[in-house]
Amino acid sequence: MSGLNKETSGNLGRQASGSLSKGLGKVKVSLMWDPSPLGMPDHDLDIIAGTYSAEDPHGKPAYLVHFDQRLSPDGTINLNRDSRTGAGFGADEVMTLELDRLSSSYARVVVGVAIQQNGGHKTFGDVPNTGVQVVEGYTELVADDFSGVAGATAATVVEFVRDSRGVWECRRAVRGFDADPETFAAVMGRA
């Protein structure tokens, strides 16, 4: 996989499609935070999704989606909006996941947020007004302000798992990590 400790990003788009199955269909993750004071290093937070196979749901991710790999191989997970500063109104980063379109070979998707470190040690407590929201349509599934993981440099937020019927369910999973984005992405599925 390519490095997660910041390079350039691609830019790919995709059409959405509807859901016929029960359980979760198209889910949206929105992340917001405030920019750093003028002259200070930027606050750069990243949404990262890891998709795991049915054979190894808590092991190595089958693939990752993030600023440097904005679309999953089958087009089902898309980082629609990317920010390196947190400047501007509304959500700074947005990711959509079309869970109902994922191949049955995948059984779990974990979504987390990592803070670019740039040689320092920046935690959620260092970044003002950080918030994340997970919705399906108008239904809020998970919302958090990271105050419970203020000392962490990265955190998982939510996991999606297939139940015994094969439909997707959502579980809140706010767990802090002390790791840079690349390390976090490699281990975020183990919990």
28 beta partners: 96, 135
Nearest Cα to Cα of residue 161 among 172, 169, 151, 173:
169
Structure-token match 């369910």, residue found: 169
Q: Stretches 22-30, 39-47, 107-115, 171-179: which one binds Ca ion (CB under 5 A)?
A: 39-47
Cα-Cα-Cα-Cα torsion 178, 72, 52, 33, nearest 10 degrees, comes to: 30
Looking at 9-17, 23-31, 37-45, 173-181, which segment touches Ca ion (CB under 5 A)? 37-45
Contact characters 12-31, Ca ion, x per CB under 5 A: --------------------
Give residue number: closest CB to Ca ion. Answer: 46
**Residue whose CB is less far from Ca ion, 7 or 55:** 7
Q: Which is nearer to Ca ion, 124 or 168 (CB)?
A: 124
Q: Does residue 54 contact residue 107 with C-beta atoms inside 8 Å?
A: yes
180 sits near Ca ion (criterion: CB under 5 A): no
For Ca ion, how many residues bind (rule: CB under 5 A)? 2
How is residue 103 written in tokens?
A: 């191949």
Which burial class, exposed, middle or buried, applies to 139 when counting CB atoms under 10 A from its CB (0-12, 13-18, 19+)?
Answer: exposed
- Given a contact cutoff of 8 angstroms between Cβ atoms, the answer to whether 132 and 147 are in contact is no
**Which residue(s) pair with 160 in the sheet?**
109, 170
**Span interacting with Ca ion, options 36-44, 127-135, 136-144, 161-169, rule CB under 5 A:** 36-44
* 46 belongs to the binding site for Ca ion (CB under 5 A): yes
Nearest residue (CB) to Ca ion, 44 versus 98: 44
| Counts of helices then strands in the chain (DSSP H, E) | 1, 10
Site for Ca ion in 47-106 (CB under 5 A): none
- In terms of CB distance, is 93 or 100 closer to Ca ion? 93
State the nearest-atom distance from the C-beta of 154 to Ca ion, in Å. 12
Indicate the residue among 44 and 136 with the shorter CB distance to Ca ion: 44
Please give the Cα distance from 69 to 92 (Å, whole number): 17
Which positions lie near Ca ion, rule CB under 5 A? 44, 46
